[in-house]
Amino acid sequence: MYSDEGYLSTVVEWFCQYRIGRRKDLDYHKPERMKPATDRVRIGINLPKNPDPSAIRRRLRSFAECGYDSVEVSLDMLPLIVGGEKRPEYIEFFHSLLSEFDFEYSAHIGSGVDLRDEINLELQKKILYSSIEICTLMHLNPLVLHYEARTKDISIEKRFLELHREAADLAARYGVLLCIENIEVDLVDPVIDLVKSADRPNLRMTFDTGHAYLAAGFFHFDFLESLKRSLPFIGHLHLSDNTGDYERLRITNRQAYNAIPKTNRFAFGRGDAHLPPFWGSIPFDDVFSLLRDFRGIYVCEFHSDYFIPFGKSIQERVRSAIRLAGKPAG
The parent domain of residue 309 ranges over 36-244+275-324
Q: Can you give 98-110 as a three-state secondary structure string? A: HCCCCCEEEEECC
Cis, bond preceding 142 (omega within 30 deg of 0): yes
Q: Is residue 1 part of a domain?
A: no
Q: Which residues of the chain have pLDDT under 70?
A: 1-39, 327-330
Q: Is residue 26 part of a domain?
A: no
Measure the CA dihedral 171/174/176/182, to 10°: -10
In the prediction, which pLDDT does 26 show? Answer: 34
Question: What is the Cα Rg of the chain in Å?
Answer: 19
Q: Is residue 152 part of a domain?
A: yes
Q: Is residue 5 part of a domain?
A: no
Q: Is residue 259 part of a domain?
A: no
Q: Is residue 254 part of a domain?
A: no
In the prediction, which pLDDT does 326 show? Answer: 85
Report how many domains make up the chain: 1
Q: Is residue 20 part of a domain?
A: no
Q: In whole angstroms, how far apart are CA 232 and each of 6, 83, 281, 291, 294?
A: 10, 37, 25, 10, 10
What global pTM score does this model have? Answer: 0.88
Q: Is residue 200 part of a domain?
A: yes
CATH of the domain at 309: 3.20.20.150
CA distance 326 to 330: 12
